[in-house]
Structure 1
Amino acid sequence: MTDPRDSLSLAEQGSGPTDLPPPAPLRIAPQTALFLDFDGTLVEIADHPDDVIVPDTLPEVIASLAHALKGRLALVSGRSIAALENLLGPLEVAIAGSHGGEFRPAGADTVAPLADPLPGRVVEELDSFSKANGDMLVEPKPYSVAVHYRRHPHALESLLTRAEALAREEGLKLKHGKQVVELVMPGSDKGSALTAFMARPEFAGTHPLFLGDDVTDEDAFRVLEGLGGHGVLVGPMRPTAAHRRLPDVAAVHDWLAAALRTHDQSEGI
């Protein structure tokens, strides 16, 4: 049975360095593959998932990077693919949603699951718990369910106790991120998603970079070394398996924009 505390505590990963250097400028090159988290990496985190502010230019930046990299770009998010497209519009780039439970290569019309669907009982139990503890936001997804406690910090201890029990009973993984506790199906993690993408022909032989901010991104950071790549932590320094760091979402946008400018200049655009 899966350990329900998998990825729960960064303290379990060791203290790590006091800080990390920034990544080198992004090069649009045949050896480059780029994987991007969404919340906390491309957009600022909001109190409610529907309240995030998506810059008007972001969909075009994503599409331009994917085109420049000849398809070697993927979004890897805890949100479902449908939720991402509600915010960004239709996307032709590769996407892994629900922490990797949903897997869709670029240009594909269908989503391939990397995990079994979440038992309906889990959502029902957490929904009942939420209503009895201040009506916390419960966000069901195809392969996971998240409970956002940002507005109800007093409920965290009891929420963790209930979530841990459900994880043990159903063989789920428990992830404790930024003001959110999430139960996910085995196989629905960002490390599995990166491994699946890197097995595809368009990513073969590349050096992957993954940018992410939260505990749920550590699964991806940990597999990168074996894939010949590097993780880039976004946000304040904390214990992490990443090798580089950018301080905030604005720095990510600057880093990506600089790569596109350099590419356009080299192409004479």
Structure 2
Amino acid sequence: MEWNTRSDGLAPPPLLDRARDALFLDFDGTLVPIAERPDAIAPDRLLPPLIARLRAALQGRVVIVSGRRISDLDHYLQSTGLLAAGLHGAEMRGTEPHEMHPDIHRALARARTDVSRNGGGLHIEDKGLAIALHFRARPELQVLAEKLAARAARESEGLLEVQPGNMVVELRPCGADKGSALQAFLKEPLFAGARPIFAGDDLTDEAGFDVARQAGGHGIIVGARQPTGAHYALPDPAAVHRWLIASLEDMTA
């Protein structure tokens, strides 16, 4: 089963170490291919049992770290107990959630009204504690999406920040990012002494790569996006699956 081909100059990652590794995985673009709309993804039917087997092999040290809601991850991965950080860390299961300012919902409501009125042509994804402005189907609307997000962040008086992504601009609570999510999990007893391995494809994952590196682990970029703080690379979600399966076979041999 081939997974260990180089991707854009970076070597493929080594197999997971059952004794010491903790695995942090992005979802869209890492475990499932990107779709034109967030609700149009088609996860491989073998993905949920693969994640379940990894959790068993790594003694529970598997976390999905995503911009999606945790309820969405539960649906697609057919699980209700999976450790997860949703909305870039604004939602957490398995550790303490990001502390929210009491006025965050008011700031989000103002932003929601503005982008709904002025974001014609954009696909606006309301995630509750975050708002994503997708322009994958209309790339010419990137400037509009960026302008609306920047204005909403400015008018939130420091409560919201802009997170650029792959054909999307997102508004999220300040301080809720994938790096802070990793830091929170690494403080939990389950992860004591573990080496964090973080795989992701987007700009939002760079904060996770940084924290993984600082904690003695490494990042894995999925795809050819450069520059990146990741040490290793895999070309696409299919290669991620092959690497995970090869790691499982090695850990359970």
Please, what TM-score do these two structures have when normalized by structure 1?
Answer: 0.85
In the alignment, does 2:177 pair up with 1:193? no
The match for 1:163 among 145, 149, 154 is 149
Q: CA deviation at 1:115?
A: 4.0
1:153 Cα offset (Å): 1.4
Q: Does residue 1:45 correspond to 2:34, yes or no?
A: yes
Residue type at the aligned position of 1:203: F
**What's the RMSD between the two structures over aligned residues?**
1.5
Matched, 1:150 2:136: yes
Q: Do 2:25 and 2:198's aligned partners in 1 also have CA atoms closer than 8 Å?
A: yes
| 1:94 match | 83
* 5+ residue gaps, structure 2: 1-7
Kept after mapping to 1: 8 A contact 2:222/2:237: yes
Superposed CA offset, 1:15-45 (max 9, x none): xxx732211122222x111000000000000
Structure 2: how far apart are the matches of 1:142 and 1:74?
A: 21
1:161 CA drift (Å): 1.5
Match of 1:35 in 2: 24
The residue number in structure 2 matching 1:113 is 97
Contact 1:19–1:237 (CA under 8 A) maintained in structure 2: no
Deviation at 1:152, TM superposition (A): 1.5
Task: For residue 142 of structure 1, report the CA deviation from its aligned partner.
Answer: 3.1
User: Is the 8 Å Cα contact of residues 233 and 244 (structure 1) preserved in structure 2?
Assistant: yes
Mapped to 1, the partners of 2:241 and 2:164 lie a distance apart of: 26
Taking the aligned partners of 2:213 and 2:246, their CA distance within structure 1 comes to 25
Shift of 1:187: 2.3
Whole-angstrom distance in 2 between the partners of 1:65 and 1:27: 11
Between the aligned residues of both structures, percent identity stands at: 44
- For residues 63-94 of structure 1, what are the alpha-carbon distances to aligned partners after superposition, in whole Å with 9 as ceiling and x for unaligned? 11011111111000000001112222223221
List gaps (5 residues or longer) in structure 1: 1-17, 106-110
Distance 2:27 2:85 in 1: 11
Cα 1:26/1:211, change in 2 over 3 Å: same
Q: TM-score, normalised by structure 2?
A: 0.90
Contact 1:102 1:112 (8 Å CA) reproduced: no
Q: Does the 8 Å CA contact 1:234/1:246 hold for their aligned counterparts?
A: yes
- Partner in structure 2 of residue 19 of structure 1: 9
How many residues of Structure 1 are paired with residues of Structure 2 in the alignment? 239
Q: Shift of residue 112 of structure 1?
A: 4.7
**Deviation at residue 237 of structure 1 after TM alignment:** 3.9
Residue deviations 1:200-224 (CA, integer Å, cap 9, x gap): 0000101100000000101111222
1:159 and 1:50 map into 2 onto residues whose CA distance is 20
- What is the match of residue 219 of structure 1? 207
Amino acid at match of 1:210: F
State the distance in 2 between where 1:115 and 1:184 align. 13
SS of the residue aligned with 2:252?
Answer: helix
SS of match in other structure, 1:40 = coil
